[in-house]
Structure 1
Protein backbone atom coordinates (compact mmCIF):
# COMPACT_ATOMS: atom_id res chain seq x y z
CA UNK A 1 0.00 0.00 0.00
CA UNK A 2 1.40 3.39 -1.05
CA UNK A 3 2.13 5.85 1.75
CA UNK A 4 2.55 9.56 1.29
CA UNK A 5 5.61 11.35 2.60
CA UNK A 6 3.67 12.86 5.50
CA UNK A 7 2.40 9.42 6.52
CA UNK A 8 5.93 8.01 6.44
CA UNK A 9 7.17 10.90 8.61
CA UNK A 10 4.30 10.33 11.03
CA UNK A 11 4.97 6.57 11.26
CA UNK A 12 8.70 7.18 11.73
CA UNK A 13 8.05 9.73 14.46
CA UNK A 14 5.67 7.40 16.31
CA UNK A 15 8.21 4.57 16.01
CA UNK A 16 10.97 6.70 17.51
CA UNK A 17 8.71 7.82 20.37
CA UNK A 18 7.67 4.22 21.12
CA UNK A 19 11.30 3.09 21.10
CA UNK A 20 12.23 5.87 23.54
CA UNK A 21 9.31 5.05 25.83
CA UNK A 22 10.20 1.35 25.72
CA UNK A 23 13.80 2.17 26.63
CA UNK A 24 12.62 4.34 29.54
CA UNK A 25 10.56 1.38 30.80
CA UNK A 26 13.16 -1.35 30.20
CA UNK A 27 16.38 0.34 31.34
CA UNK A 28 15.43 0.51 35.07
CA UNK A 29 14.35 -3.14 34.92
CA UNK A 30 17.69 -4.15 33.37
CA UNK A 31 19.51 -2.20 36.06
CA UNK A 32 17.64 -4.03 38.82
CA UNK A 33 18.32 -7.40 37.18
CA UNK A 34 22.01 -6.55 36.84
CA UNK A 35 22.19 -5.53 40.49
CA UNK A 36 20.61 -8.80 41.61
CA UNK A 37 23.25 -10.77 39.69
CA UNK A 38 26.28 -8.75 40.79
CA UNK A 39 28.64 -9.19 43.70
CA UNK A 40 28.51 -7.15 46.89
CA UNK A 41 31.77 -5.34 46.15
CA UNK A 42 30.68 -4.33 42.63
CA UNK A 43 27.42 -2.91 43.92
CA UNK A 44 29.11 -1.11 46.84
CA UNK A 45 31.50 0.58 44.39
CA UNK A 46 28.59 1.54 42.08
CA UNK A 47 30.08 -0.34 39.14
CA UNK A 48 26.79 -1.89 38.05
CA UNK A 49 24.78 -0.20 35.31
CA UNK A 50 22.91 -2.39 32.82
CA UNK A 51 25.14 -5.47 32.97
CA UNK A 52 26.13 -7.60 35.98
CA UNK A 53 29.62 -7.10 37.41
CA UNK A 54 31.39 -10.05 39.03
CA UNK A 55 28.45 -12.26 38.09
CA UNK A 56 27.00 -14.34 40.92
CA UNK A 57 23.75 -16.08 41.91
CA UNK A 58 24.43 -15.68 45.64
CA UNK A 59 21.64 -13.14 46.16
CA UNK A 60 19.16 -15.35 44.34
CA UNK A 61 20.29 -18.40 46.30
CA UNK A 62 19.62 -16.59 49.56
CA UNK A 63 16.23 -15.27 48.41
CA UNK A 64 15.09 -18.66 47.12
CA UNK A 65 15.97 -20.25 50.47
CA UNK A 66 13.73 -17.86 52.42
CA UNK A 67 10.63 -19.81 53.58
CA UNK A 68 8.80 -16.62 54.59
CA UNK A 69 9.16 -15.26 51.05
CA UNK A 70 7.81 -18.49 49.55
CA UNK A 71 4.89 -18.45 51.98
CA UNK A 72 4.06 -14.93 50.87
CA UNK A 73 4.50 -15.95 47.23
CA UNK A 74 2.12 -18.90 47.40
CA UNK A 75 -0.39 -16.89 49.41
CA UNK A 76 -0.34 -14.20 46.70
CA UNK A 77 -0.45 -16.80 43.94
CA UNK A 78 -3.42 -18.59 45.51
CA UNK A 79 -5.37 -15.40 46.16
CA UNK A 80 -4.66 -14.22 42.61
CA UNK A 81 -5.79 -17.44 40.92
CA UNK A 82 -8.86 -17.97 43.11
CA UNK A 83 -9.75 -14.29 43.14
CA UNK A 84 -9.46 -13.96 39.36
CA UNK A 85 -11.67 -17.01 38.79
CA UNK A 86 -14.31 -15.75 41.24
CA UNK A 87 -14.11 -12.23 39.80
CA UNK A 88 -14.68 -13.46 36.24
CA UNK A 89 -17.60 -15.59 37.40
CA UNK A 90 -19.28 -12.77 39.34
CA UNK A 91 -18.64 -10.26 36.57
CA UNK A 92 -20.16 -12.56 33.95
CA UNK A 93 -23.19 -13.38 36.12
CA UNK A 94 -23.97 -9.67 36.50
CA UNK A 95 -22.87 -8.43 33.08
CA UNK A 96 -24.98 -10.93 31.13
CA UNK A 97 -28.43 -9.85 32.44
CA UNK A 98 -27.36 -6.20 32.27
CA UNK A 99 -26.64 -6.67 28.56
CA UNK A 100 -30.29 -7.51 27.88
CA UNK A 101 -32.94 -5.06 26.74
CA UNK A 102 -35.42 -3.45 29.12
CA UNK A 103 -38.13 -5.88 28.01
CA UNK A 104 -35.92 -8.82 29.01
CA UNK A 105 -34.57 -7.35 32.25
CA UNK A 106 -36.52 -4.37 33.54
CA UNK A 107 -34.09 -3.39 36.33
CA UNK A 108 -31.03 -3.31 34.10
CA UNK A 109 -30.99 0.47 33.66
CA UNK A 110 -31.29 1.15 37.40
CA UNK A 111 -28.50 -1.28 38.25
CA UNK A 112 -26.25 0.23 35.56
CA UNK A 113 -26.69 3.67 37.10
CA UNK A 114 -25.59 2.22 40.45
CA UNK A 115 -22.58 0.58 38.77
CA UNK A 116 -21.50 3.85 37.15
CA UNK A 117 -21.90 5.72 40.46
CA UNK A 118 -19.76 3.06 42.19
CA UNK A 119 -17.10 3.48 39.50
CA UNK A 120 -16.98 7.28 39.72
CA UNK A 121 -17.39 7.82 43.46
CA UNK A 122 -15.05 5.66 45.51
CA UNK A 123 -15.97 4.73 49.07
CA UNK A 124 -14.31 6.92 51.75
CA UNK A 125 -11.50 5.07 53.50
CA UNK A 126 -12.83 5.16 57.08
CA UNK A 127 -16.39 3.90 56.31
CA UNK A 128 -14.88 1.32 53.96
CA UNK A 129 -12.49 0.12 56.67
CA UNK A 130 -15.29 -0.14 59.21
CA UNK A 131 -17.51 -2.03 56.76
CA UNK A 132 -14.82 -4.55 55.84
CA UNK A 133 -13.94 -5.06 59.49
CA UNK A 134 -17.63 -5.39 60.35
CA UNK A 135 -18.12 -8.34 57.99
CA UNK A 136 -15.26 -10.25 59.61
CA UNK A 137 -12.45 -9.67 57.12
CA UNK A 138 -10.06 -7.90 59.50
CA UNK A 139 -6.89 -9.99 59.89
CA UNK A 140 -8.51 -12.56 57.61
CA UNK A 141 -6.72 -13.71 54.43
CA UNK A 142 -10.05 -13.63 52.58
CA UNK A 143 -9.65 -9.84 52.51
CA UNK A 144 -7.16 -10.48 49.70
CA UNK A 145 -9.99 -11.87 47.54
CA UNK A 146 -13.53 -10.84 48.47
CA UNK A 147 -13.28 -7.02 48.09
CA UNK A 148 -11.90 -7.47 44.56
CA UNK A 149 -14.30 -9.95 42.99
CA UNK A 150 -16.35 -7.26 41.23
CA UNK A 151 -14.93 -4.18 39.54
CA UNK A 152 -17.38 -1.68 37.97
CA UNK A 153 -15.07 -0.80 35.07
CA UNK A 154 -14.49 -4.46 34.18
CA UNK A 155 -18.22 -5.09 34.52
CA UNK A 156 -18.98 -2.38 31.95
CA UNK A 157 -16.43 -3.84 29.52
CA UNK A 158 -17.96 -7.31 29.77
CA UNK A 159 -21.51 -5.98 29.54
CA UNK A 160 -20.64 -4.07 26.36
CA UNK A 161 -19.07 -7.21 24.91
CA UNK A 162 -22.16 -9.28 25.69
CA UNK A 163 -24.44 -6.65 24.09
CA UNK A 164 -22.73 -7.38 20.78
CA UNK A 165 -23.25 -11.12 21.05
CA UNK A 166 -25.25 -12.69 18.23
CA UNK A 167 -28.97 -12.49 19.01
CA UNK A 168 -29.65 -15.18 16.42
CA UNK A 169 -27.56 -17.71 18.34
CA UNK A 170 -29.35 -16.90 21.59
CA UNK A 171 -32.78 -17.12 19.98
CA UNK A 172 -31.88 -20.47 18.43
CA UNK A 173 -30.72 -21.74 21.84
CA UNK A 174 -33.93 -20.54 23.48
CA UNK A 175 -36.00 -22.36 20.85
CA UNK A 176 -34.09 -25.53 21.69
CA UNK A 177 -35.13 -25.17 25.35
CA UNK A 178 -31.87 -23.70 26.64
CA UNK A 179 -32.27 -21.55 29.77
CA UNK A 180 -30.31 -18.38 30.43
CA UNK A 181 -27.82 -19.95 32.86
CA UNK A 182 -27.08 -22.80 30.50
CA UNK A 183 -26.83 -20.36 27.60
CA UNK A 184 -24.32 -18.24 29.50
CA UNK A 185 -22.02 -21.09 30.49
CA UNK A 186 -22.32 -23.33 27.43
CA UNK A 187 -22.75 -20.80 24.62
CA UNK A 188 -21.79 -17.23 25.54
CA UNK A 189 -18.70 -17.71 27.72
CA UNK A 190 -16.99 -20.26 25.41
CA UNK A 191 -17.27 -17.66 22.62
CA UNK A 192 -16.01 -14.83 24.85
CA UNK A 193 -12.38 -15.84 25.27
CA UNK A 194 -11.09 -12.43 24.21
CA UNK A 195 -12.89 -10.41 26.86
CA UNK A 196 -12.36 -13.12 29.51
CA UNK A 197 -8.61 -13.12 28.89
CA UNK A 198 -8.51 -9.33 28.97
CA UNK A 199 -10.39 -9.09 32.25
CA UNK A 200 -8.40 -11.99 33.70
CA UNK A 201 -5.28 -9.93 33.11
CA UNK A 202 -6.89 -6.85 34.68
CA UNK A 203 -8.07 -8.75 37.75
CA UNK A 204 -4.87 -10.79 37.99
CA UNK A 205 -2.58 -7.76 38.01
CA UNK A 206 -4.85 -6.02 40.55
CA UNK A 207 -4.83 -9.02 42.89
CA UNK A 208 -1.13 -9.78 42.47
CA UNK A 209 -0.04 -6.20 43.15
CA UNK A 210 -2.49 -5.32 45.91
CA UNK A 211 -0.85 -3.42 48.72
CA UNK A 212 -3.38 -1.18 50.45
CA UNK A 213 -5.81 -3.90 51.52
CA UNK A 214 -3.27 -6.16 53.25
CA UNK A 215 -1.57 -3.11 54.76
CA UNK A 216 -4.87 -1.95 56.28
CA UNK A 217 -6.47 -5.24 57.23
CA UNK A 218 -3.75 -7.83 57.95
CA UNK A 219 -1.76 -7.84 61.18
CA UNK A 220 -0.58 -11.45 61.30
CA UNK A 221 2.81 -11.71 59.51
CA UNK A 222 1.90 -15.24 58.39
CA UNK A 223 -0.81 -13.74 56.16
CA UNK A 224 1.34 -11.04 54.56
CA UNK A 225 1.22 -11.30 50.74
CA UNK A 226 4.24 -10.82 48.52
CA UNK A 227 4.01 -7.04 48.14
CA UNK A 228 3.95 -6.49 51.90
CA UNK A 229 6.87 -8.87 52.33
CA UNK A 230 8.81 -6.93 49.70
CA UNK A 231 8.04 -3.73 51.59
CA UNK A 232 9.52 -5.29 54.72
CA UNK A 233 12.64 -6.29 52.80
CA UNK A 234 13.08 -2.80 51.36
CA UNK A 235 12.45 -0.83 54.56
CA UNK A 236 13.95 -3.10 57.22
CA UNK A 237 17.49 -4.42 56.85
CA UNK A 238 17.04 -6.77 59.80
CA UNK A 239 14.20 -8.57 57.99
CA UNK A 240 15.96 -9.08 54.70
CA UNK A 241 19.23 -10.15 56.34
CA UNK A 242 17.59 -12.41 58.93
CA UNK A 243 19.36 -15.74 59.14
CA UNK A 244 22.48 -14.59 57.28
CA UNK A 245 25.93 -15.47 58.43
CA UNK A 246 28.58 -12.83 59.18
CA UNK A 247 28.17 -10.10 56.57
CA UNK A 248 31.94 -10.04 55.97
CA UNK A 249 31.76 -13.54 54.48
CA UNK A 250 28.83 -12.86 52.15
CA UNK A 251 28.89 -12.02 48.45
CA UNK A 252 25.61 -10.10 48.66
CA UNK A 253 24.21 -7.14 50.56
CA UNK A 254 20.84 -5.52 51.15
CA UNK A 255 20.90 -3.82 47.72
CA UNK A 256 21.45 -7.03 45.77
CA UNK A 257 18.88 -8.88 47.87
CA UNK A 258 16.27 -6.18 47.38
CA UNK A 259 16.86 -6.22 43.64
CA UNK A 260 16.48 -10.00 43.52
CA UNK A 261 13.27 -9.81 45.56
CA UNK A 262 11.73 -7.21 43.23
CA UNK A 263 12.47 -9.34 40.17
CA UNK A 264 11.17 -12.41 42.01
CA UNK A 265 7.84 -10.62 42.49
CA UNK A 266 7.33 -9.41 38.92
CA UNK A 267 8.49 -12.49 36.98
CA UNK A 268 5.14 -14.40 37.26
CA UNK A 269 3.15 -11.55 35.69
CA UNK A 270 5.77 -11.15 32.95
CA UNK A 271 5.55 -14.88 32.19
CA UNK A 272 1.75 -14.91 32.03
CA UNK A 273 1.29 -11.82 29.87
CA UNK A 274 2.54 -13.31 26.54
CA UNK A 275 -0.14 -16.03 26.73
CA UNK A 276 -2.89 -13.42 27.11
CA UNK A 277 -1.47 -10.77 24.79
CA UNK A 278 -3.21 -12.08 21.66
CA UNK A 279 -6.58 -11.61 23.37
CA UNK A 280 -5.77 -8.37 25.17
CA UNK A 281 -6.16 -5.72 22.46
CA UNK A 282 -9.06 -7.54 20.79
CA UNK A 283 -11.00 -7.89 24.04
CA UNK A 284 -10.41 -4.30 25.12
CA UNK A 285 -11.40 -2.88 21.74
CA UNK A 286 -14.52 -5.05 21.43
CA UNK A 287 -15.60 -3.99 24.90
CA UNK A 288 -15.39 -0.31 23.99
CA UNK A 289 -17.22 -0.11 20.67
CA UNK A 290 -20.60 0.79 22.07
CA UNK A 291 -22.23 1.15 25.47
Structure 2
Protein backbone atom coordinates (compact mmCIF):
# COMPACT_ATOMS: atom_id res chain seq x y z
CA UNK A 1 0.00 0.00 0.00
CA UNK A 2 1.39 3.36 -1.02
CA UNK A 3 1.57 5.96 1.73
CA UNK A 4 1.69 9.68 1.16
CA UNK A 5 4.56 11.78 2.48
CA UNK A 6 2.42 13.18 5.30
CA UNK A 7 1.33 9.69 6.38
CA UNK A 8 4.95 8.51 6.44
CA UNK A 9 5.97 11.56 8.46
CA UNK A 10 3.14 10.90 10.91
CA UNK A 11 4.20 7.27 11.27
CA UNK A 12 7.83 8.20 11.90
CA UNK A 13 6.73 10.83 14.41
CA UNK A 14 4.69 8.27 16.35
CA UNK A 15 7.64 5.87 16.28
CA UNK A 16 9.98 8.51 17.69
CA UNK A 17 7.52 9.40 20.45
CA UNK A 18 7.08 5.75 21.40
CA UNK A 19 10.86 5.29 21.54
CA UNK A 20 11.19 8.35 23.78
CA UNK A 21 8.43 7.15 26.11
CA UNK A 22 9.99 3.68 26.22
CA UNK A 23 13.35 5.10 27.25
CA UNK A 24 11.70 7.27 29.92
CA UNK A 25 9.86 4.24 31.27
CA UNK A 26 13.02 2.11 31.30
CA UNK A 27 15.27 4.58 33.12
CA UNK A 28 13.80 4.00 36.64
CA UNK A 29 13.92 0.23 36.16
CA UNK A 30 17.52 0.31 34.92
CA UNK A 31 18.43 2.51 37.87
CA UNK A 32 16.97 0.04 40.38
CA UNK A 33 18.70 -2.88 38.67
CA UNK A 34 22.03 -1.01 38.68
CA UNK A 35 21.75 -0.19 42.37
CA UNK A 36 21.09 -3.85 43.20
CA UNK A 37 24.39 -4.83 41.52
CA UNK A 38 26.45 -1.90 42.82
CA UNK A 39 28.71 -1.61 45.82
CA UNK A 40 27.38 0.03 48.96
CA UNK A 41 30.00 2.80 48.76
CA UNK A 42 29.00 3.77 45.20
CA UNK A 43 25.31 3.82 46.15
CA UNK A 44 25.90 5.86 49.30
CA UNK A 45 27.84 8.42 47.25
CA UNK A 46 25.04 8.55 44.63
CA UNK A 47 27.40 7.50 41.85
CA UNK A 48 24.98 4.98 40.31
CA UNK A 49 22.78 6.05 37.41
CA UNK A 50 21.78 3.37 34.89
CA UNK A 51 25.00 1.37 35.05
CA UNK A 52 26.36 -0.48 38.12
CA UNK A 53 29.36 0.97 39.93
CA UNK A 54 31.62 -1.41 41.79
CA UNK A 55 29.80 -4.42 40.37
CA UNK A 56 28.99 -7.05 43.01
CA UNK A 57 26.55 -9.91 43.70
CA UNK A 58 26.64 -9.41 47.48
CA UNK A 59 23.11 -8.00 47.73
CA UNK A 60 21.71 -10.85 45.65
CA UNK A 61 23.69 -13.47 47.59
CA UNK A 62 22.19 -12.25 50.86
CA UNK A 63 18.69 -11.96 49.36
CA UNK A 64 18.63 -15.38 47.68
CA UNK A 65 19.79 -17.03 50.91
CA UNK A 66 16.63 -15.98 52.75
CA UNK A 67 14.19 -18.87 52.99
CA UNK A 68 11.27 -16.66 54.08
CA UNK A 69 11.48 -14.73 50.81
CA UNK A 70 11.58 -17.97 48.79
CA UNK A 71 8.59 -19.26 50.74
CA UNK A 72 6.60 -16.16 49.77
CA UNK A 73 7.81 -16.53 46.19
CA UNK A 74 6.70 -20.18 45.99
CA UNK A 75 3.34 -19.32 47.54
CA UNK A 76 2.81 -16.52 45.03
CA UNK A 77 3.75 -18.73 42.08
CA UNK A 78 1.40 -21.46 43.29
CA UNK A 79 -1.54 -19.11 43.89
CA UNK A 80 -0.96 -17.33 40.57
CA UNK A 81 -1.00 -20.58 38.59
CA UNK A 82 -4.04 -22.01 40.39
CA UNK A 83 -5.99 -18.75 40.32
CA UNK A 84 -5.27 -18.13 36.63
CA UNK A 85 -6.33 -21.66 35.68
CA UNK A 86 -9.56 -21.44 37.68
CA UNK A 87 -10.25 -17.94 36.39
CA UNK A 88 -9.94 -19.01 32.76
CA UNK A 89 -12.14 -22.04 33.39
CA UNK A 90 -14.89 -20.09 35.18
CA UNK A 91 -14.74 -17.22 32.68
CA UNK A 92 -15.07 -19.61 29.74
CA UNK A 93 -17.96 -21.48 31.34
CA UNK A 94 -19.81 -18.19 31.84
CA UNK A 95 -18.84 -16.44 28.62
CA UNK A 96 -19.83 -19.27 26.28
CA UNK A 97 -23.56 -19.41 27.15
CA UNK A 98 -23.71 -15.61 27.41
CA UNK A 99 -22.49 -15.41 23.80
CA UNK A 100 -25.49 -17.41 22.52
CA UNK A 101 -28.68 -15.65 21.41
CA UNK A 102 -30.72 -18.75 22.23
CA UNK A 103 -29.72 -18.39 25.88
CA UNK A 104 -32.60 -16.13 26.94
CA UNK A 105 -31.24 -14.85 30.31
CA UNK A 106 -28.02 -13.64 28.60
CA UNK A 107 -29.22 -10.01 28.30
CA UNK A 108 -30.22 -9.73 31.96
CA UNK A 109 -27.02 -11.40 33.14
CA UNK A 110 -24.87 -9.06 31.05
CA UNK A 111 -26.60 -6.07 32.62
CA UNK A 112 -25.74 -7.52 36.03
CA UNK A 113 -22.12 -7.97 34.91
CA UNK A 114 -21.88 -4.33 33.78
CA UNK A 115 -23.42 -3.14 37.07
CA UNK A 116 -20.65 -4.90 39.01
CA UNK A 117 -18.11 -2.97 36.93
CA UNK A 118 -19.73 0.39 37.64
CA UNK A 119 -20.64 -0.08 41.32
CA UNK A 120 -17.84 -1.60 43.37
CA UNK A 121 -18.55 -3.34 46.68
CA UNK A 122 -17.84 -1.12 49.73
CA UNK A 123 -14.71 -2.17 51.59
CA UNK A 124 -16.23 -2.80 55.03
CA UNK A 125 -19.14 -5.03 53.87
CA UNK A 126 -16.76 -6.82 51.54
CA UNK A 127 -14.31 -7.45 54.37
CA UNK A 128 -17.06 -8.74 56.67
CA UNK A 129 -18.44 -11.01 53.93
CA UNK A 130 -15.06 -12.53 53.12
CA UNK A 131 -14.29 -13.06 56.80
CA UNK A 132 -17.71 -14.64 57.42
CA UNK A 133 -17.05 -17.39 54.86
CA UNK A 134 -13.82 -18.42 56.54
CA UNK A 135 -11.26 -16.74 54.30
CA UNK A 136 -9.70 -14.52 56.98
CA UNK A 137 -6.06 -15.51 57.54
CA UNK A 138 -6.60 -18.26 54.98
CA UNK A 139 -4.35 -18.62 51.90
CA UNK A 140 -7.44 -19.35 49.79
CA UNK A 141 -8.21 -15.62 49.98
CA UNK A 142 -5.30 -15.16 47.57
CA UNK A 143 -7.14 -17.26 44.96
CA UNK A 144 -10.94 -17.24 45.28
CA UNK A 145 -11.66 -13.47 45.00
CA UNK A 146 -9.74 -13.32 41.71
CA UNK A 147 -11.32 -16.15 39.72
CA UNK A 148 -13.72 -13.89 37.82
CA UNK A 149 -13.35 -10.41 36.36
CA UNK A 150 -16.35 -8.73 34.63
CA UNK A 151 -14.04 -6.98 32.16
CA UNK A 152 -12.34 -10.24 31.19
CA UNK A 153 -15.71 -11.96 30.96
CA UNK A 154 -16.87 -9.39 28.42
CA UNK A 155 -13.69 -9.83 26.36
CA UNK A 156 -14.11 -13.61 26.21
CA UNK A 157 -17.84 -13.36 25.49
CA UNK A 158 -17.12 -11.01 22.58
CA UNK A 159 -14.53 -13.45 21.23
CA UNK A 160 -16.98 -16.35 21.43
CA UNK A 161 -19.71 -14.35 19.67
CA UNK A 162 -17.67 -14.20 16.46
CA UNK A 163 -16.87 -17.93 16.54
CA UNK A 164 -18.02 -19.59 13.25
CA UNK A 165 -21.57 -20.91 13.66
CA UNK A 166 -21.09 -23.38 10.83
CA UNK A 167 -18.47 -25.27 12.85
CA UNK A 168 -20.75 -25.45 15.85
CA UNK A 169 -23.72 -26.61 13.78
CA UNK A 170 -21.62 -29.35 12.16
CA UNK A 171 -20.45 -30.52 15.60
CA UNK A 172 -23.99 -30.53 16.98
CA UNK A 173 -25.18 -32.63 14.03
CA UNK A 174 -22.54 -35.21 14.97
CA UNK A 175 -24.02 -35.43 18.46
CA UNK A 176 -21.64 -33.03 20.21
CA UNK A 177 -23.03 -31.33 23.32
CA UNK A 178 -22.31 -27.81 24.57
CA UNK A 179 -19.63 -28.82 27.07
CA UNK A 180 -17.83 -31.02 24.57
CA UNK A 181 -18.16 -28.25 21.98
CA UNK A 182 -16.56 -25.77 24.37
CA UNK A 183 -13.64 -27.93 25.52
CA UNK A 184 -12.86 -29.80 22.31
CA UNK A 185 -13.48 -27.14 19.65
CA UNK A 186 -13.94 -23.60 20.97
CA UNK A 187 -11.18 -23.34 23.57
CA UNK A 188 -8.44 -24.98 21.42
CA UNK A 189 -9.21 -22.36 18.75
CA UNK A 190 -9.18 -19.50 21.28
CA UNK A 191 -5.47 -19.35 22.15
CA UNK A 192 -5.26 -15.60 21.52
CA UNK A 193 -7.95 -14.60 23.98
CA UNK A 194 -6.91 -17.28 26.51
CA UNK A 195 -3.30 -16.05 26.50
CA UNK A 196 -4.44 -12.45 26.84
CA UNK A 197 -6.76 -13.13 29.76
CA UNK A 198 -4.18 -15.42 31.39
CA UNK A 199 -1.79 -12.47 31.40
CA UNK A 200 -4.49 -10.16 32.80
CA UNK A 201 -5.45 -12.57 35.58
CA UNK A 202 -1.89 -13.64 36.30
CA UNK A 203 -0.53 -10.11 36.71
CA UNK A 204 -3.40 -9.18 39.06
CA UNK A 205 -2.79 -12.19 41.30
CA UNK A 206 1.00 -11.86 41.19
CA UNK A 207 0.85 -8.19 42.18
CA UNK A 208 -2.02 -8.44 44.67
CA UNK A 209 -1.38 -6.36 47.75
CA UNK A 210 -4.71 -5.14 49.16
CA UNK A 211 -6.26 -8.57 49.71
CA UNK A 212 -3.37 -10.06 51.69
CA UNK A 213 -2.98 -6.78 53.58
CA UNK A 214 -6.61 -6.98 54.70
CA UNK A 215 -7.00 -10.70 55.24
CA UNK A 216 -3.58 -12.28 55.95
CA UNK A 217 -2.04 -11.82 59.41
CA UNK A 218 0.17 -14.89 59.57
CA UNK A 219 3.61 -13.99 58.14
CA UNK A 220 3.98 -17.57 56.90
CA UNK A 221 1.17 -16.89 54.40
CA UNK A 222 2.48 -13.54 53.17
CA UNK A 223 2.60 -13.44 49.34
CA UNK A 224 5.61 -11.94 47.64
CA UNK A 225 4.38 -8.35 47.38
CA UNK A 226 3.44 -8.21 51.07
CA UNK A 227 6.72 -9.81 52.03
CA UNK A 228 8.59 -7.22 49.98
CA UNK A 229 6.66 -4.46 51.72
CA UNK A 230 7.63 -5.96 55.09
CA UNK A 231 11.21 -6.33 53.93
CA UNK A 232 11.43 -2.70 52.84
CA UNK A 233 9.50 -0.94 55.62
CA UNK A 234 10.40 -3.02 58.69
CA UNK A 235 13.82 -2.00 60.00
CA UNK A 236 14.15 -5.35 61.78
CA UNK A 237 14.16 -7.12 58.41
CA UNK A 238 17.32 -5.39 57.26
CA UNK A 239 20.71 -6.59 58.47
CA UNK A 240 22.79 -4.23 60.57
CA UNK A 241 25.47 -3.62 57.96
CA UNK A 242 26.91 -0.29 58.96
CA UNK A 243 29.38 -1.79 61.44
CA UNK A 244 30.44 -4.69 59.25
CA UNK A 245 33.41 -3.90 57.02
CA UNK A 246 33.76 -7.07 54.91
CA UNK A 247 30.42 -6.88 53.10
CA UNK A 248 29.58 -4.88 50.03
CA UNK A 249 25.84 -4.23 50.32
CA UNK A 250 23.63 -1.73 52.10
CA UNK A 251 19.97 -1.21 52.87
CA UNK A 252 19.42 0.55 49.53
CA UNK A 253 21.06 -2.18 47.47
CA UNK A 254 19.04 -4.87 49.26
CA UNK A 255 15.77 -3.02 48.72
CA UNK A 256 16.56 -2.60 45.03
CA UNK A 257 17.42 -6.28 44.66
CA UNK A 258 14.13 -7.20 46.36
CA UNK A 259 12.11 -5.09 43.92
CA UNK A 260 13.89 -6.60 40.91
CA UNK A 261 13.39 -10.09 42.34
CA UNK A 262 9.61 -9.53 42.34
CA UNK A 263 9.32 -8.42 38.71
CA UNK A 264 11.63 -10.97 37.07
CA UNK A 265 8.96 -13.71 36.62
CA UNK A 266 6.53 -11.35 34.88
CA UNK A 267 9.27 -10.09 32.57
CA UNK A 268 10.23 -13.68 31.70
CA UNK A 269 6.64 -14.80 30.98
CA UNK A 270 5.50 -11.81 28.93
CA UNK A 271 7.53 -12.56 25.74
CA UNK A 272 5.82 -15.94 25.40
CA UNK A 273 2.31 -14.43 25.38
CA UNK A 274 3.13 -11.17 23.61
CA UNK A 275 2.21 -12.52 20.16
CA UNK A 276 -1.30 -13.32 21.41
CA UNK A 277 -1.71 -10.22 23.56
CA UNK A 278 -2.56 -7.54 20.98
CA UNK A 279 -4.74 -9.85 18.91
CA UNK A 280 -6.75 -11.03 21.89
CA UNK A 281 -7.21 -7.56 23.35
CA UNK A 282 -8.33 -6.08 20.03
CA UNK A 283 -10.82 -8.87 19.43
CA UNK A 284 -12.40 -8.21 22.79
CA UNK A 285 -12.58 -4.46 22.38
CA UNK A 286 -13.80 -3.95 18.79
CA UNK A 287 -16.88 -6.12 18.52
CA UNK A 288 -19.58 -6.18 21.16
Question: Normalising by structure 1, what TM-score?
Answer: 0.97
Aligned position for 1:34: 34
**Stretches of structure 2 lacking an aligned partner (at least 5 in a row):** none
What is aligned with 2:273? 276
Instruction: Quote the residue 2:206 is aligned against.
Output: 208
Residues 120-161 of structure 1, C-alpha deviation per residue, up to 9 Å, x if partnerless? 111110111011111110000000000000000000000000
* Number of residues of Structure 1 aligned to a counterpart in Structure 2: 288
- Which of 162, 165, 168 aligns to 2:166? It is 168
1:23 corresponds in structure 2 to: 23
Which of the residues 147, 154, 157 maps onto 1:156? 154
Shift of 1:245: 9.8
Identify the residue that residue 72 of structure 1 maps to in structure 2: 72
Distance in 1 separating the partners of 2:62 and 2:242: 11
Give the drift of 1:240: 2.9
* In 2: Cα distance, 1:92 partner to 1:241 partner: 48
Q: Is 1:98–2:98 an aligned residue pair? A: yes
Deviations 1:31-86 (A, max 9, x none): 01100000111101111001000100000001100000000000000000000000
Tell me the residue number matched to 1:262: 259
- CA–CA separation in structure 2 for the residues paired with 1:38 and 1:22: 24
SS in 2 for 1:210: coil
Deviation at 1:241, TM superposition (A): 2.2
Structure 1 residue 7 and structure 2 residue 4: aligned?
Answer: no
- Aligned position for 1:114: 112
Runs of 5+ in structure 1 lacking a partner?
A: none
The equivalent residue for 2:123 is 125
- Counterpart Cα distance in 2 of 1:190 and 1:97: 17
Contact in 2 for aligned 1:232/1:240 (Cα 8 Å) = no
TM-score, reference length from structure 2: 0.98
Shift of 1:275: 0.2
Task: Give the aligned CA root-mean-square deviation in angstroms.
Answer: 1.2
Distance 2:32 2:193 in 1: 33
Q: Give the Å deviation of 1:2.
A: 3.1
- CA distance in structure 1 between the aligned counterparts of 2:70 and 2:242, rounded to whole angstroms: 20
The 2-side partners of 1:270 and 1:72 are apart by 18
Aligned equivalents of 1:246 and 1:90: distance in 2?
A: 55
How do 1:42-53 and structure 2 match up within 5 A?
42-53=42-53
Q: How far is 1:12 from its partner?
A: 1.9
Counterparts of 1:11 and 1:178 in 2: how far apart (Å)?
A: 49
Tell me if 1:81 matches 2:81: yes
Rounded Cα–Cα distance in structure 1 between residues aligned with 2:2 and 2:165:
40
SS at match of 2:208: coil
